[in-house]
């Protein structure tokens, strides 16, 4: 049976070049990086080189890069760590704002690593949070961020590209809005509010140049870019304070204690370097495959609606609602044919709750329960797409035959508008903003 892996947004296989870079640090180079003898110094130098490589991709200073154990940890450090660090107002701002900075802004369709961290601040530490509603394509507008900002806002966290529907946000425009507000309030760049973006899905597809993006903090993880699982990094602009979540030996410039995962750090940095160097060529290869899949799914299967923006989306992401079926049932049938896909975030795969992202862009429960996410990668071929297109219509026919629910696409009150679906399909293949 053919095996087709279309769940690269969940995780990716480790690149052979990455495995090769990691291998010595499992065997011959095993010393503790904090040791002062020769073996320890060699390990420390290797970590420093990995930090330099990562800083080059971010276009930042080497001391602005912090290695972590995951994208989730990096997101928590950015949201909770910064909020805690600025809970008290600096002396020179006393009287100009309330006693405490107590406000956090994010969107309602962020990854749960950001949403749960924000909810923790709300429910456990007395912070106030604003959850911005995106438009019907999943984009958070700079104007909505501007309207939500207050003098008490500490951190704004808006993801670069959505992990479920693939929509890409105008991060540099949101950053511009926040800078303008700071200037209006007479704030320095090292004073709140700060801007964080979760770039885990964007890494390997778009530029991570933090100067061009205008962000203060940026999250990346290794498992999405053909690196090892359990690795990540957080960019923190100089002058931005972060309260550590873990206390101990003071590693990572006292921000993240614990003996370093040396092999993981080396592998992460190598994977990021490769993803950065090859992103343009790989995106150019994937976009035609992505667009073919969207176009043919809508042509071959009735009542298939694209979720997310048709143009401003990740090169490898196809998220559709196949009405009159349950997404989980579709996954099981596809798995029987050797096809691996998902219904949304891998972190929530054990839950039968409908996608908060699909619901968050205004789609009803029927859309959410019927959503499917296919994410392409380096191993994806045209033959893989053809195989999926051969199998999926047959599976849909079987599942719709036994489905107790049959919705009418024209019923706008229930499932949105057919015009939206047609518009999305019409623009497939157009040039996205980062190529203009």
> Of residues 148, 245, 347, 407, which has the active-site annotation?
347
284 contacts: CB under 8 Å, gap ≥ 6: none
Q: How far is CA 299 from CA 372, 386, 412, 426, in A?
A: 17, 13, 21, 12
Alpha carbon distance 194, 172 (integer Å) = 13
H-helix or E-strand spanning residue 128: strand 128-132
Let me know the angle formed at the C-alpha of 56 by 52 and 59, rounded to the nearest 5 degrees. Answer: 125
Alpha carbon distance 133, 296 (integer Å) = 31
Q: What are phi and psi of 428, to 5 degrees?
A: -60, 130
Active site residue 200: no
Q: What is the 3-state secondary structure (H, E, C) of 318-365?
A: EEEEECCCCHHHHHHHHHHCCEECECCCHHHCCCCCCCHHHHHCCCCH
Q: Across the strands, what pairs with 288?
A: none
Q: Omega before 193 cis (within 30°)? A: yes
| DSSP-assigned states of every residue in 207-256 | ---HHHHT-SEEEEESTTTTS-SS-EEEEE-TT-----SS-SS-TTTTTS
Q: What are phi and psi of 274, to 5 degrees?
A: -65, -45
The answer to whether residues 73 and 79 touch, using CB atoms and an 8 Å cutoff, is: no
Alpha carbon distance 35, 45 (integer Å) = 12
Alpha carbon distance 38, 40 (integer Å) = 5
Q: Which of 109, 246, 250, 237 is nearest to 178 (CA)?
A: 237
Alpha carbon distance 158, 135 (integer Å) = 14
H-helix or E-strand spanning residue 22: helix 16-22
| DSSP-assigned states of every residue in 276-304 | HHHHHHHHHHHHHHHHHHHHHHHHHSTTE
What residues are labeled active site?
A: 347
């Amino acid at each position: 049976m053919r095996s087709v892996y279309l769940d690269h947004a969940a995780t990716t296989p480790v690149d052979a070049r990455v495995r090769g870079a990691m291998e010595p640090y499992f065997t011959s180079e095993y010393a503790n990086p904090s040791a002062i003898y020769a073996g320890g110094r060699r390990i420390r130098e290797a970590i420093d080189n990995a930090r330099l490589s990562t800083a080059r991709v971010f276009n930042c200073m080497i001391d602005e890069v912090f290695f972590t154990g995951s994208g989730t940890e990096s997101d928590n450090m950015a949201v909770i760590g910064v909020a805690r660090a600025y809970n008290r107002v600096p002396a020179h701002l006393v009287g100009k704002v309330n006693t405490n900075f107590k406000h956090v802004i994010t969107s309602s369709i962020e990854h749960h690593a950001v949403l749960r961290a924000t909810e923790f601040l709300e429910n456990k530490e007395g912070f106030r949070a604003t959850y911005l509603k995106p438009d019907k394509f999943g984009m958070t507008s700079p104007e909505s961020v501007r309207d939500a900002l207050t003098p008490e806002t500490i951190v704004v966290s808006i993801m670069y590209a959505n992990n479920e529907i693939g929509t890409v946000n105008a991060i540099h425009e949101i950053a511009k809005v926040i800078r303008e507000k700071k200037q209006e309030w007479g704030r320095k760049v090292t004073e709140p509010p700060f801007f964080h973006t979760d770039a885990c899905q964007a890494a390997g597809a778009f530029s991570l140049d933090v100067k061009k993006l205008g962000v203060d903090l940026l999250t990346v993880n290794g498992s999405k870019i053909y690196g090892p699982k359990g690795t990540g990094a957080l960019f923190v602009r100089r002058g931005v304070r972060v309260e550590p979540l873990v206390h101990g030996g003071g590693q990572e410039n006292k921000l993240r204690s614990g003996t370093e995962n040396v092999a993981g750090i080396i592998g992460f940095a190598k994977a990021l370097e490769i993803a950065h160097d090859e992103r343009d060529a790989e995106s150019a290869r994937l976009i035609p495959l992505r667009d073919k899949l969207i176009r043919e799914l809508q042509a071959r299967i009735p009542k298939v609606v694209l979720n997310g923006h048709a143009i401003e989306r990740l090169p490898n992401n196809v998220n559709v609602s196949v009405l009159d079926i349950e997404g989980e049932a579709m996954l099981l049938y596809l798995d029987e044919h050797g096809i691996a896909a998902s219904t949304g975030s891998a972190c929530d795969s054990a839950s039968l709750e409908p996608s908060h992202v699909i619901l968050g862009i205004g789609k009803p429960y029927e859309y959410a329960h019927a959503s499917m996410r296919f994410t392409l990668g380096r191993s994806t071929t045209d033959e893989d797409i053809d195989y999926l297109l051969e199998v999926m219509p047959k599976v849909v026919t079987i599942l719709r035959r036994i489905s107790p629910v049959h919705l009418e696409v024209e019923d706008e009150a229930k499932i949105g508008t057919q015009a939206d679906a047609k518009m999305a399909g019409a623009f497939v293949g157009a040039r996205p903003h980062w190529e203009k």
